[in-house]
Amino acid sequence: MSATSSRPPSAFPSRSGTPHLRDVVHEVMRQFKHEKESEAHQIFRQQAGHQPKGVFPETVNPEEETVPGIEHPGSTGVIYCSDRAIANGFSYVNSHEWANLGQGAPEVGPIPNAPSRPDSIPIPVDSLEYAPTTGVKALREAVANLYNHTYRQGKASQYTYENVCIVPGGRAGLSRVAAVISDVYCSYQIPDYTAYDQVLSAFKRLVPVPTALDPKDKYRLDIEQTKKDIRTQGLAVIIASNPRNPTGQMIAGKDLKELVSLSREGTTLILDEFYSWYIYPEHERDYGKSVSSAEYVENVDADSVIIIDGLTKNWRLPGWRVCWVMGPKNLITALSQSGSFLDGGANHPMQLAAIPLLEPSRVAEEKLSLQKHFKTKRDHVLKRLHDIHLDVDIPPQATFYIWLNLEKLPPPLNNGLTFFEELLKEKTIVIPGIFFDINPAHRRNLFNSPCHHFVRLSFGPPLEDLDKGLDAIERVVKAARKEGTRKFGHSYKKSLEKAPDQI
């Protein structure tokens, strides 16, 4: 083989002896190291609220900040990705043509051996009135009873309705909690739930203090290091999802018990437990179990542990917007006050309809069927990714997410934003990893983010949708390996201006 024939395709000259312009562009694109050199990253930065902050001199985008005193907070990952999908032709009318592996919601239809799905909602005349901002008392009692039955049997301290506040969704619960926290250092981990970024940006009395979790330790939170950080940095609040979104890992057993013990040493724990049922045991005897910090709370009114959960994920009812916050009684009175000006309370008829769904025997059936069904889907997705030669470094032990590392793909497909844009061309939606890099000031060059080379895939949708999305991933990966990456990394649709019928 001659020296000339061994050169990469992008180095071949044109007939005139000079490289083609497309080849030069392609070669530069293969080498880019900064977000300014990437079309996908520039589209991201051009969205309202996604400009870097804390950079001097400060600049104002006249197209974005037109109302005095208003500053865009930036959108969550799912919202940004949905907007970009709409720009590529997605609509809720044609959604069946797309594979949405980005939406953080489980399938809502019937699954094997589960109780029947709710199909009607009674609406008593009294329920046409406002509900209390803390929620309907009977539902609060049902939540407390379920946690006592599941996690606190035999314990002297029991939850009552006074430890429960019903809220219209998990984000509303998180916002209520954030609104009543005073000026504190708030510890959070990277990667974690995308909405924490906006909460820490909007509620400025929480001073964000990050901890980057190490994939070499399977994203495990180092409890001993956390204790040191509390002492040396004065951390007053720790916020975390458990099980973890997006990595699919969880804090359980001894580690969770030690984490909860920090609440008795002057630190408040805010634990987002929406995926507490989505755990995948290896042994048949372990099916039907779930995980919650409620198991390790000693005194429900003294331990400063705040639990946020609801019907959204575990009960597979995201459209109901019925969730709850649990914690000491004095927290609930504060949340009643913040709810009075933030959201006004949850839907009254839906709260009443939720009460029988929390009956412990029904919950046991739901939990068992959910775990078996979603474990089957998890294993199916992992096998298909393996067949595409995209093995998952750290398979999920919980949630319905896969944290997929793209580093072994050829550039520019090896970063989450570009991979996401390429899949939009194939009518498939995933979430770029950078949205889970909780970075409230947006200061970092995105290429330096520890989440830059990742995407989050959801196996929440039905199996046929998963296969549709995996087929799209396979097409993109095979094309890159067989034909090279010349056609990737550019020519993305900026808006839907040319297709108004898709809005």
User: pTM here?
Assistant: 0.88
Query: What would the mean pLDDT of 467-496 be, rounded to a whole number?
Result: 89
Q: Does residue 338 sit within a domain?
A: yes
3-state secondary structure of 428: strand
Res 103: pLDDT: 86
286 plus 420 within the same structural domain: no
99 plus 140 within the same structural domain: no
Residue 62: band (very low, low, confident or very high) from pLDDT cuts 50, 70, 90: low
| CB environment 376-392: b (16+ within 10 A), e (fewer) | ebbeebbebbeebebeb
74 or 419: which carries more pLDDT confidence? 419
309 plus 178 within the same structural domain: yes
Residue 445 has pLDDT above 80, yes or no: no
For residue 177, CA distances in Å to 193, 423, 442 come to 16, 37, 23
Residue 435's domain is classified under what CATH number?
Answer: 3.90.1150
Q: Does residue 247 sit within a domain?
A: yes
Q: pLDDT, tens digit, for every residue of 340-354?
A: 999 999 999 999 999
Res 1: pLDDT: 42
* CB-neighbour burial class of residue 77 (10 A; exposed 0-12, middle 13-18, buried 19+): buried
Query: What would the mean pLDDT of 174-199 be, rounded to a whole number?
Result: 94
Domain residues for the domain of 451 are: 46-106+400-483
Looking at residue 496, what DSSP letter applies? S
For residue 346, CA distances in Å to 118, 145, 196 come to 18, 20, 21
202 plus 255 within the same structural domain: yes
Res 24: pLDDT: 41
83 plus 189 within the same structural domain: no
Residue 225 has pLDDT above 60, yes or no: yes
Q: What is the dihedral of CA 176, 179, 304, 440, to 10 degrees?
A: 100
Mean pLDDT of the chain: 88
Residue 215's domain is classified under what CATH number?
Answer: 3.40.640.10
Total number of domains in the chain: 2
Residue 20 has pLDDT above 80, yes or no: no
Q: pLDDT, tens digit, for every residue of 40-61?
A: 888 887 776 676 655 444 455 5
Q: Does residue 503 sit within a domain?
A: no
142 plus 87 within the same structural domain: no
Res 22: pLDDT: 47
Q: Structure tokens of 345? A: 């309370």
Q: Does residue 469 sit within a domain?
A: yes
Q: Does residue 318 sit within a domain?
A: yes
59 plus 163 within the same structural domain: no
Q: pLDDT, tens digit, for every residue of 116-161?
A: 999 999 999 999 999 999 999 999 999 999 999 999 999 999 999 9
Res 61: pLDDT: 57
Res 65: pLDDT: 59
Q: Does residue 419 sit within a domain?
A: yes
Residue 28 has pLDDT above 70, yes or no: no
304 plus 445 within the same structural domain: no
Res 41: pLDDT: 83
* CA nearest neighbour of 106 among 466, 373, 459, 463: 459
**Lowest-confidence pick of 304-313, 346-355, 437-446:** 437-446
**Lowest-confidence pick of 78-92, 226-240, 416-430:** 78-92
Q: Does residue 33 sit within a domain?
A: no
For residue 84, CA distances in Å to 78, 102, 145, 391, 414 come to 10, 12, 43, 27, 19
Which of 365, 390, 418 corresponds to the end of one domain? 365
Q: Does residue 411 sit within a domain?
A: yes
188 plus 101 within the same structural domain: no
235 plus 318 within the same structural domain: yes
